[in-house]
Chain A
Amino acid sequence: MAELGIRVTRMELFKLKKRLEIADRARQLLEEKRKILAMELMKYVDRIRELRENVDHSLADLYDALIDAEMTMGKSVVRGLLIPSTDRFEIEEFSRSTIGISIPILKLKMTRGFMATNPYSLITTSIKLDEIASRVDDVLVSVVELAEAQATVKKLAEELDKVKRRVNAMERIVIPKIQHRIRYIEMRLDEMEREDMFRLKRIKTRLERRRRAGV
């Protein structure tokens, strides 16, 4: 077992033992971070399920309102009324930090009321048309919430992936490598000690033999 580049000294053994201690502590910390991230992520995954249901419901309501409007006023009339309006929505982006990870926060802002941008006759149109507009607001609110949660999950999951890889590298490569070097040095030092002992015994025997011959 020839190990290149390892100095077989007690000092090196001491340094490696210290390094093993630090590596083990780092592995423990990473493992803790991995657990926290996984727990946080699970919370957000449940939230995403909830928000996806919200989006589905608000969209189903929107499509129902559209069908109602089409049935009351006629499909072509409704389509004729859907004239492009000016922008009413903007999204403000912030970020907050959780476990050292920057997480996005989105805020939907309605810059103008619907009636301010869509002047149409309230007498000739059905109330269902107003309902569609308010449903779109609901849809956008829930979509923005969902987008924020999905972006958060993506960030947390990517970080968890990185931490998992680091923990694996620590457990399977870094720590075993240090342990292997420690074992090698200990073994070599033991061997050297045995050799020294043997040499000393030989010297002692020779000296005794010489002494006896001199006498």
Chain B
Amino acid sequence: MGKIAVIASDDIAAIFRWAGVRDSFSVSTEEEARKLLYKLAKDPKYTLIIVGASIAEKIARTIELITAEQEYPLIITIPERGITPSKRVDPLRELLRRTLGIEIR
């Protein structure tokens, strides 16, 4: 049984925390987000970490590194109000381009 964690902007984290994802964190700086993601990724109790698009944009490289190194937790980037995850925050993109030669939206 694994837990879910959310790292997002203030309002999104608050909604998830209120709706039942207790480990929802709001971060403001890039450094803070990176440290928190590393800390959560090391903790075996988490199976899924949901990262808001505004944060994911800042720590795209960290997400890629963690995803490449470990199977769990799975890290998913979600759109936030008005911000959709850009192409570079997709760890699958490069892998699929190399193996299948296709671009995934």
Q: How many A-B residue pairs have CB under 8 A?
A: 129
Judge if B19 is at the interface, Cβ distance under 8 Å. yes
A65 to chain B: closest residue by CB: B15
* B91: contacting residue among A41, A90, A132, A154, CB under 8 A: A154
Chain B residues near A153: list those with CB within 8 A.
92, 96
A85 near B18 with CB under 8 A, answer yes
**Chain A positions near chain B (C-beta within 8 angstroms):** 38, 41-42, 45, 48-49, 52, 55-56, 59-60, 62-63, 66, 79, 81-93, 104, 106, 109-110, 112, 114, 117-118, 132-133, 136-137, 139-140, 143-144, 146-147, 150-151, 153-154, 157-158, 160-161, 164
29 pairs from A and B in contact (CB 8 Å cutoff)? A38-B99, A38-B100, A41-B96, A41-B100, A83-B18, A85-B17, A85-B19, A85-B20, A86-B20, A87-B20, A87-B21, A87-B22, A88-B19, A89-B3, A89-B21, A91-B4, A93-B72, A104-B71, A109-B1, A114-B19, A132-B15, A140-B21, A143-B48, A144-B48, A147-B76, A151-B74, A157-B96, A157-B99, A160-B100
